Every structure is written in structure tokens, then in C-alpha cells.
Structure 1
Amino acid sequence: MIVLRQPRRETGPQPIPELLHRALFKGVSLLPPGGQAVVLRRYFDWWHRSPDPWRLQTDAYEQRKYATTLQVLPDRPYRRILDVGCAEGAFTHLIAAEYPEAQVTGVDISERALNRARARPGPPLLSFTRADLIAYGQPGEFDLVVCAETLYYLGRDDRLRLASARLVELVRPGGLLLLVHPWPEADRLYTYLGDPMTRVLHHVDEDAHRPFSVTVFQSQPGPDAAAQP
């Protein structure tokens, strides 16, 4: 496994707003999965009443994460790419431009966000679909599944377990799961990925004002792996 680190700095405890944010979504995850999806859809539609509410397309920190993610992503052919929790498609458009021959799909729970993602010009193989991660079903079809800054919205451990199982199912045998989340919180969020995935790369940027990790897991190759192009 490859482990990369930026220069170390003291990270300290999470700030109070982050802790309150996590507590809110733990409460929402007490609902059944369908009810949780309804609340999250309304929550994110409300946030996206104005364009790019978290400045994902312009903020220097976000651009640093995107550049780092693309830099450490293993160089291999990707025919089908899925970006889970894509919001208005800031990173989805970047990775589609990086791999113009790949069929790239962005998935998010907010239709308002997706309408803005669709309005931006992009490669012909780029598309966007509204779906909840836990209910989304195209198992084993993607060479690369990306999930960034999304898992902590799922709340409690049982819901993280369901989301992790879904992410694993979406990756084809031998494919990659790319996760980008705050560090060291990411270590807890990835607890439930389990044996079907092997961690092959772990990059930690501790020098950012909000430290983050870029982690790549590989699915176990299938019996016909040698026949894969």
C-alpha cells in the first residue's frame, strides 16, 4: 500500500460547528432509510436555492483537494466512473475532462444541484442522475467510484454500514473506490468497507486548514480478471 503525507501540523479537536453538524445528521439517521432520504433531499435542495453554496467551484481549499485527488489517482484505464454525492458537479466535470473517453455519471440527492451540473457544458459521455446512495442500484458496473465529503451525512454506524455496502457493490471486480473526507475522521467513516476491499493508497494532507485524506480501495479481482482489458 502507498502512504503519502504532507508536512505534519497539529490538527486538534473538531471545531464546535463541525460537531453540531455531525450531531444533526446522527439524529436524522434515526429515521428509516426512506425517511432519511426525504429529509436529506429537502435539506440539500434548500441549500442549493442559491448557486454553489459551499463555493466548491471557486474555493482555494476545494481546488487543492481536487488537484490532489487527481494527482494521486492511479493511472489506469477507466471506462465507467461514478461520482457519488456530486452536488453541482464541480469535481465530476473535472474528472470527465481528465478521462473524456470514460462514461462518467454524477449522482446526488438534490435535483436543484443536478440541474446546475447539467447546465454546464461537458463531454458527451457525462450525465447526472438524482438518487439516494443507499437506494442506488447498478452493482458491479463501475471501474472507479468516487465518494467525497459525503459519508458523514449518513449519521449513525448502522447507516454507514449500509452506505459502505452499497459503495462496495457498485465497484466492478478489480475496480477502485476513491474516498475523500476530513482526516482523521475518515478512518472512522471507512470502518465498514470490510474484506472485499483492499486499501492500496492513502494520502493525508495535514497542512490544509481542514486536513483531509485521499484513500483508494481496490475490489477483489473476479475469476475472469485476466480477461479484463
Structure 2
Amino acid sequence: MSADALHRRLFGLLSLFSPRMHTKVLRRYFNWWHRSPDPWKLQVSLYELNKYRTTLDHVPREPYTRILDAGCSEGTFTHLLAREHPGAEIVGVDISERALARARARGEGPRFIAADLTDPGTIGVFDLVFCAETLYYLGRDERLRHVSRRLRDLVAPGGVLVLVHPWPEARRLHRHLEGDPVTRRIAEHVENDPHRPFSVTCYRRL
């Protein structure tokens, strides 16, 4: 098992905690992780930059007015969305205030809000929602089902939800949306990177 896969599996064990404790642990972890800027090298990694481009290339070509980046970290992809969709309202949410402070410091454009995806509050609905490399932090089984429904509910009827996760693990992470009667998978692309394959999966909210 790779170090990345072990890391993701360990976070799955947080499902054993109460939802309140789960959120508390994640907030502390991500604030600690962001003690230094860009800890995942999202701004410079060729792998990450290719993943961003691949993601955008597989989003349905439609007009979008409100776009959400769920789990935005320091806003690298969020600011890219603002450049790709200059007429849209762009919102990034994350559990780490330290990450959000750096996202805001990158310049004007997107709006950044502290939110827990298990209970995102009243941030409204969007006609395009992205969630990348995030679901494996949010638990297993019933906790994953709950978060999947929360994400679905952030999508306006007729809108698009885009999930980007490691492949083939994405099949497990996305399974509750696959079985959801008000979502329909409309596209899926698997990028067969020899070391870190991932999928870009698009769902329509009915």
C-alpha cells in the first residue's frame, strides 16, 4: 500500500468518532498542516497542474453563474476557476482558517468562507460544484453517505457536481452519489497517471 493510500485509510477511521469530534480533529489537523504555505505544492506540482487542466477540460460546456470549490485549501484551483469563468460568482470553502487566510491574500475575485462539509450551513446552492481530493477525509459508511447528500444539496436542480479522487478508490468514495435517485452520472474520465491515477466524474442534479 502506498503512503498516500495509507494516509487516506487512516483518516477513514475518523468515522469512529462523533461528528463533533471528527470536525474538531480535521480542523486542528488542517490548520497544523497549513503551518507552512502550499504544503501540497498545489501551485507548482506538474501532477496537480495537470489534474486541474484535466478537470476543467471534462466539465460540461455550459453557462455557470455560481461556482463552489468545496475543500478549497489555499485557493489555487479556486482562483483558476475565477479566471476561467470571469462572469461567475466563485466561492471557496474550507475547514482551515489558516488556509483560507492565504487564499484571500492571493488577490481579489473569489469569496472564501470557513465551512465544514458535514454541515456547510447557509451558503446557498450553486450550478457548478467541485470537490477534489476531499471525501476520503470525511469518513466512511454512514458518514460518507451524509457528506455525499450534503454535497448534492449544494447543487441547484439542473446543476453539475464534479468529483475528483484517486482511481479506483473513487468508485468507493462516489458510491452514494451513484445510488442517489436525484443525481445522474453524465461523464467520467480516468487519467491513467502511472503513479497516481485519478478520475474526474461529473453528476447532474435532477
* TM superposition score category, shorter chain reference: over 0.9
Matched, 1:24 2:32: no
Answer whether contact 1:22 1:155 (CA < 8 A) is retained. Answer: no
Name structure 2 gaps, 5 residues minimum. none
How many residues align? The count is 204
Q: Whose RCO is larger (CA < 8 A, sep 6+)?
A: 1
- 2:113 paired residue among 100, 119, 129: 129
Calculate percent identity across the aligned residue pairs: 59
Which residues in structure 2 correspond to 1:1-229 (within 5 Å)? 14-15=1-2, 17-123=3-109, 126-138=110-122, 141-193=125-177, 194-220=180-206
CA distance in 2, matches of 1:118, 1:150: 20
Report the secondary structure of 1:55's partner residue: coil
CA distance in 1, matches of 2:123, 2:40: 30
How far is the alpha carbon of 1:150 from its aligned partner?
0.2
> How far does the alpha carbon of each residue in 1:73-120 deviate from its partner, in whole angstroms, 9 at most, with x for none?
111111101110000011001011100111110000000000000001
How far is the alpha carbon of 1:140 from its aligned partner?
6.3
Answer whether contact 2:8 2:136 (CA < 8 A) is retained. Answer: yes
CA distance in 1, matches of 2:95, 2:194: 28
How far is the alpha carbon of 1:22 from its aligned partner?
2.7
Report the secondary structure of 2:165's partner residue: strand
Matched to 1:136, the amino acid is P
How far is the alpha carbon of 1:201 from its aligned partner?
0.6
CA distance in 1, matches of 2:181, 2:171: 15
How far is the alpha carbon of 1:34 from its aligned partner?
1.5
Report the secondary structure of 1:145's partner residue: strand
How big is the alpha-carbon RMSD for the aligned residues of Structure 1 and Structure 2? 1.3
CA distance in 2, matches of 1:103, 1:197: 23
Name structure 1 gaps, 5 residues minimum. 1-13, 221-229
